[in-house]
A = this chain, B = another copy of it.
Amino acid sequence: MDKITISKPDDFHVHFRQGELMKAVLPSTLKWFGRALAMPNLRPKPVLDTRDAKRYRGEITAAAKEAGHPDFEPLMAIQLTDKTKPRGIKHAQQAGVIAAKVYPIGVTTNSDNGVRSLKSCALTLQAMQDCGMVLSLHGEKPGVFCLDREREFLGVLDWLVESFPSLRIVLEHITTFQAVAKVINLPETVAATITVHHLFLTLDDIIGGGLSPHNFCKPVAKRESDREALRHAVLWGNPKFFLGTDSAPHPRDRKECASGCAGVFTAPVAMPLLAQFFEEHAGKNWRKGLEEFSSLHGAKFYGLPKNSGKLTLIRR
């Protein structure tokens, strides 16, 4: 099979940045994806409310059009902070914002204005549940040993599920066996995105040979057993797991320096790598598995229609 066609994929976690950098990286997403959820942690000014989201959507749409993809649909998220009001959530939802993203404070690139305690955001979370906005979580506990941060974060999910039983929650870019197990064992309202690079990398690819800033992201890739759990989650076909590349470009001098930024820029190669992964590991029905993971499960969880377009992948 040297050519396969699937419904156009969605990337439910991507960093487009702004300005010239956005113009440089956006085509890599446009080439493969019909829609993409644009992460709101922009600098200096993050996407915090309806006005920010509309402006940012306009920037992305204009850049996509300029790049010859007028049909590309940016999916918008706002960043939830301690200051986000329930009213602001409802307003944003009406304007088409589909998710609010929570970064625990200081846990990754551009997260210094993150949330200190989800419990103090209860009314905002209630508003999200009421209007059907998805809670998107960077699932790492701050102040904990780097390799334990995701695992130690997972307990918050129990509180969230108990307190907001119909709030839809996405645990983003999971990296551990424990996160896979947790998401499977929680109700249908809880799902997770998995990146392409976490299907391929372990910590060995960052610190096991030479130090590799271009493989460094947060959460950092863990052990082989964790990678195996992610691979199984993807290959099972469980609709709780879907694609979010977390593709995150940085200028080279912000990676190859004394304090390298977290983030792996995978957009140009994510879909080919994912197709290769499914072909090698998913058996005869790998095309179906690839399509479900990258084009169907996420849209269904977010309550979006399947993309009308198609993507054809050709072996080179």
Given the interface contacts A206-B207, A207-B216, A216-B211, does A224 sit within 8 Å of B145 by beta carbon? yes
Copies of the protein in its oligomer: 2
Which residues of chain B are near A207, meaning CB under 8 Å? Answer: 146, 203, 206-207, 216, 220
Q: How far is the CB of A140 from chain B (nearest CB, A)?
A: 11
Q: Select from chain B the residue with minimum beta-carbon distance to A261.
A: B210
Q: How far is the CB of A254 from chain B (nearest CB, A)?
A: 9
Which residues of chain B are near A203, meaning CB under 8 Å? Answer: 145-147, 207
Which residue of B208, B259, B260 contacts A146 across the interface (Cβ within 8 Å)?
B208
Given the interface contacts A145-B224, A223-B145, does A259 sit within 8 Å of B210 by beta carbon? yes
Q: How distant is the Cα of A101 from the Cα of B52 in the complex, in angstroms? A: 61
Judge whether A314 is part of the interface by a CB distance below 8 angstroms: no
Q: How distant is the Cα of A216 from the Cα of B259 in the complex, in angstroms? A: 12
A209 touching B259, Cβ below 8 Å:
yes
Which residues of chain B are near A220, meaning CB under 8 Å? Answer: 207
Judge whether A304 is part of the interface by a CB distance below 8 angstroms: no
Which residues of chain B are near A147, meaning CB under 8 Å? Answer: 203, 223
Q: How distant is the Cα of A257 from the Cα of B256 in the complex, in angstroms? A: 5
Judge whether A204 is part of the interface by a CB distance below 8 angstroms: yes
Query: Chain A 19-35, CB within 8 Å of chain B: the 1/0 string?
Result: 00000000000000000
Judge whether A258 is part of the interface by a CB distance below 8 angstroms: yes
Query: Chain A 168-212, CB within 8 Å of chain B: the 1/0 string?
Result: 000000000000000000000000000000000011101111111
Which residues of chain B are near A257, meaning CB under 8 Å? Answer: 256
Q: Select from chain B the residue with minimum beta-carbon distance to A109.
A: B210
**For residues 119 through 170 of chain A, which have their beta carbon under 8 Å from a beta carbon of chain B?**
145-147
Which residue of B145, B202, B204, B260 contacts A213 across the interface (Cβ within 8 Å)?
B260
B145 touching A214, Cβ below 8 Å:
no
Which residues of chain B are near A100, meaning CB under 8 Å? Answer: none
Which residue of B209, B216, B256, B261 contacts A256 across the interface (Cβ within 8 Å)?
B256
A211 touching B145, Cβ below 8 Å:
no
Q: How distant is the Cα of A234 from the Cα of B181 in the complex, in angstroms? A: 40
B145 touching A204, Cβ below 8 Å:
yes
Q: How distant is the Cα of A147 from the Cα of B145 in the complex, in angstroms? A: 14
Judge whether A262 is part of the interface by a CB distance below 8 angstroms: yes
A258 touching B204, Cβ below 8 Å:
no
Q: How far is the CB of A111 from chain B (nearest CB, A)?
A: 11
Which residues of chain B are near A206, meaning CB under 8 Å? Answer: 207, 211
Q: Select from chain B the residue with minimum beta-carbon distance to A210.
A: B259
A146-B203, A203-B207, A206-B207 are known; give 10 further A-B pairs, CB within 8 A: A145-B202, A145-B203, A145-B204, A210-B259, A210-B262, A211-B262, A212-B259, A213-B260, A214-B258, A256-B256
Closest 10 CB pairs of A and B: A210-B259, A211-B260, A146-B208, A211-B216, A256-B257, A211-B213, A146-B204, A207-B220, A256-B256, A146-B207
